[in-house]
């Protein structure tokens, strides 16, 4: 198994947790600035910007196509 796949297996949970933490950080910031926050709208706006940032990274690292790469099954 390639070293990169081993790292994916090792860190996939942390990547997911970190991604959720970034989203939650921005939800809190919107809440600080907008007392009557519409959480659903704020979430959609934040997710849209996060998606745009991911698309920029995909353009840089995947030639503008989707980077969806399934690693081999990770041993638990």
Enumerate the H helices of the chain as residue ranges: 3-33, 39-62
Highest mean pLDDT range out of 22-26, 30-34, 60-64, 67-71?
A: 22-26
pLDDT digits (tens, 9 = 90+) for 13-57: 999 999 999 999 999 999 998 989 999 999 999 999 999 999 999
The reported pTM is 0.80
Asked if the structure places residue 41 within a domain, the reply is yes
Asked if the structure places residue 26 within a domain, the reply is yes
For residues 1 and 72, the answer to whether their CB atoms sit within 8 Å is: yes
Asked if the structure places residue 76 within a domain, the reply is no
For residues 71 and 9, the answer to whether their CB atoms sit within 8 Å is: yes
Query: Which range marks the domain in which residue 30 is found?
Result: 3-60
Asked if the structure places residue 46 within a domain, the reply is yes
Asked if the structure places residue 70 within a domain, the reply is no
């Amino acid at each position: 198994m390639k070293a990169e796949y081993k790292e994916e297996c090792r860190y996939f949970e942390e990547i997911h947790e970190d991604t959720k933490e970034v989203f939650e950080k921005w939800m809190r910031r919107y809440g600080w600035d907008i007392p009557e926050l519409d959480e659903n709208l704020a979430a959609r706006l934040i997710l849209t910007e996060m998606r745009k940032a991911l698309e920029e990274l995909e353009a840089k690292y995947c030639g503008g196509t989707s980077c969806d790469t399934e690693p081999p099954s990770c041993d638990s």
